[in-house]
Chain A
Amino acid sequence: MGVARKKTYYYFILPSFLTILLLAVYPVFHCVYLSLHTIDLKLPHVGQVFVGIQNYRYLTGDGRMWRALSNTFLFTGGSVALELLLGLGIALLMHRRFRGRGLFRASVLVPWAIPTVVAGMMWAWIYHDQYGVFNYLLTKLGVVDGYIAWLGTTKTAMFSLILADVWKTTPFMALLLLAGLQMIPHELYEAAKIDGAGCFARFSRITLPLLRSTILVALLFRTMDAFRIFDLVFVLTHGGPGNSTETMSLYGYKYLFSYLEFGYGSALAVVTFLWVGLISTVYILVIRRIGR
């Protein structure tokens, strides 16, 4: 290949490269810079005061931050685990031929396409403590005795949040897994059948091992997506009751745009970023090792 042509390819990359550099990479460093200052937008005349790592020192003793971090982990773990189970079930179902499969496939895309904010409003109404259809159904089925304020008690708010998220994001998981299922050669199942392998053996010996890398990739994307959750919590609980559903992104947002403390808010953002970096690195290392 000619040198001139190779050079052209660099020019082709350049617009994307510059966009990412200016609007994603540079801002992260700027965020670190801001986090080393005290910046109170309520007192603009004070300006930016350099304080070194003081914000980070405060952060390690900030109980609300630790609460938000554990909430984020709880939410991420709970919703991603449920999504994987349900998504795998739906994918296996969609992989078979049956009447109405086209309709099913189309309906699966509906929750995915709905804006998360709208989904949040929808679930807020479904969970309504007096007129919600969720309470109505559960009392009718005898699961609960009386109406419950699902979003209003610390015991149930996180669970309700996870359930709403599972509804919204399982389709994506299911579609990824389905694509992985479709890559598995059909002959393998035929051969296993001839050898007398049962339904369960075929699943655990063929489907799961061959689907492993797809599952990991799907988990990686969903985990990172769940870890930065903001809009659903913002609409459904706003972090309440009593900060029991406050996530890292929401806590950072509140410091930035409610308390207008850009220094500490930026420190929270940097910490969130580091956690995402750490978790994704672990995932990628695992995926690489398995790929080998």
Chain B
Amino acid sequence: MKGKTLSILTLFLILYIIFPFYWQISTSFKSPDEMFKKPPSIFPKSLYFRNYIEVFTSGRPFGRYILNSFIVSSSTTIASILIGSFAAYALSRSQFRGKNIFLGGILGLAMFPQIAILSPIFTIFRKLGLLNTYAALILPYTTFSLPLSIWILTNFFKDIPVEIEEAALIDGCTPLQVLRRVIAPLAAPGVFTCAILVFIYAWNEFLFALTLNTRDTMRTITVGITMFPGLYEIPWGTIFAASTLVTLPLIILVLLFQRKIIAGLTAGAVKG
């Protein structure tokens, strides 16, 4: 009896969580006639692929948006992990003066309202000729993903026994060699988790992408999608076809690596 209520409750929650997402996919396969019909049909009557064709032919460089997002997100991921892993290693291995201030700064950065640096970044980047370049997004994204990278990686580094490196140090390795030859291979799973989370963050970011890269060929996908609405009507079918194309890779990533993602998301937060 108790198990039954629980199952019903769970089912209801799954519906609440999944339905809006399902609705987007379902709408993307509906013809205009079916979309604007009362009552709405839960399943599309037939699969209408015109919306998907329209995504690429409506005059917006959708392929380019995806390419831009991909370049920006992967560069951010690499930069963030590279810079972050050094800091994380030092944080996990030693006590040094200023460590707590640094940690406080990282925490502050995680809560930072991005609007507070929008005008200076825009002004400075304009002077440097950086607007409408990939670097314009990679630079702030790397900065704001550092707390995430440093937290996750510090936690993974902490789990690696110090004795292994002590031995390597006695054998005459420098800390840099220890990091590269001993720690890096052992921390690979942590680095992978970190990479997924940073990539998703960069892929989904909107405010900087909207304001710093305004040339259509330099827009990323999150901004690109908001450009589909025309002057007089909103092409819902096209928007949802585009949305589905953009979110599907993320959903697949999430389903494949859900354990790693959950571990990464909750790393540090619980331990304080």
Q: How far apart are A226's CB and chain B's nearest CB, in angstroms? A: 11
**Interface residue from A28, A115, A227, A272 paired with B206 (Cβ < 8 Å):** A115
Decide: A224 and B111 in contact? CB cutoff 8 A. Answer: yes
Decide: A180 and B115 in contact? CB cutoff 8 A. Answer: no
Residues A243-274 near B (CB distance < 8 A): 248-249, 252-253, 256-257, 262, 265-266, 268-270, 272-273
- Interface presence of A175 (CB below 8 A): yes
- Interface presence of B17 (CB below 8 A): yes
- Interface presence of A200 (CB below 8 A): no
Interface size class for chain B?
A: 35 or more
Contacts of B203 in A (CB 8 A): 115
Stretch from B19-27, B51-59, B60-68, B186-194 contacting the other chain: B19-27
Contacts of B226 in A (CB 8 A): 117, 121, 234-235
Decide: B122 and A256 in contact? CB cutoff 8 A. Answer: yes
Contacts of A189 in B (CB 8 A): none
Residues B211-263 near A (CB distance < 8 A): 211, 221-223, 225-226, 236, 239-240, 243, 246-247, 250-251, 253-255, 258, 261-262
- The binding surface of chain A is classed by DSSP as helix
- Complex CA distance for A276 and B90, rounded to whole angstroms: 29
- Complex CA distance for A104 and B84, rounded to whole angstroms: 32
- Interface presence of B172 (CB below 8 A): no
Chain B positions 69 through 96: 1 when the CB is less than 8 Å from some CB of chain A, otherwise 0: 0000000000000111011011101101
Contacts of B38 in A (CB 8 A): 130-131, 136
Decide: B90 and A27 in contact? CB cutoff 8 A. Answer: no
- Interface presence of A106 (CB below 8 A): yes
Decide: A114 and B94 in contact? CB cutoff 8 A. Answer: no
**Interface residue from A15, A113, A140 paired with B250 (Cβ < 8 Å):** A113
- Complex CA distance for A178 and B266, rounded to whole angstroms: 9
- Interface presence of A24 (CB below 8 A): yes
- Interface presence of B119 (CB below 8 A): yes
- Interface presence of A96 (CB below 8 A): yes
- Interface presence of A6 (CB below 8 A): yes
Decide: A117 and B206 in contact? CB cutoff 8 A. Answer: yes
Interface size class for chain A?
A: 35 or more
Contacts of B128 in A (CB 8 A): none
- Complex CA distance for A214 and B272, rounded to whole angstroms: 8
Most buried by B among A115, A136, A183: A115
Contacts of B10 in A (CB 8 A): 93, 98, 100, 104
Decide: B40 and A131 in contact? CB cutoff 8 A. Answer: yes
Stretch from A49-57, A77-85, A148-156, A215-223 contacting the other chain: A215-223
Decide: B142 and A27 in contact? CB cutoff 8 A. Answer: no
**Interface residue from B90, B118, B143, B204 paired with A12 (Cβ < 8 Å):** B90
- Complex CA distance for A221 and B87, rounded to whole angstroms: 22
- Complex CA distance for A171 and B226, rounded to whole angstroms: 25
- Interface presence of A109 (CB below 8 A): yes
Chain B positions 144 through 182: 1 when the CB is less than 8 Å from some CB of chain A, otherwise 0: 101000100000000000000000010000111000000
> Which residues does A use to contact B, with CB under 8 Å?
1, 5-6, 8-10, 12-13, 15-17, 19-20, 23-28, 30-31, 33-34, 90, 93, 96, 98-100, 103-119, 121-123, 125-126, 130-131, 133, 136, 140, 167, 171-172, 175-176, 178-180, 183, 213-214, 217-218, 220-221, 224-225, 227-228, 230-231, 234-235, 248-249, 252-253, 256-257, 262, 265-266, 268-270, 272-273, 276, 280, 287, 291
Interchain residue pairs with CB less than 8 A apart (6): A13-B87, A109-B254, A115-B204, A125-B236, A249-B114, A273-B116
What 19 new A-B contacts, CB under 8 Å, besides A90-B13, A130-B38, A213-B272?
Answer: A13-B87, A13-B102, A23-B142, A24-B109, A27-B116, A28-B116, A31-B116, A33-B120, A106-B255, A107-B18, A112-B254, A131-B40, A136-B40, A175-B262, A175-B266, A227-B113, A266-B120, A273-B116, A276-B113
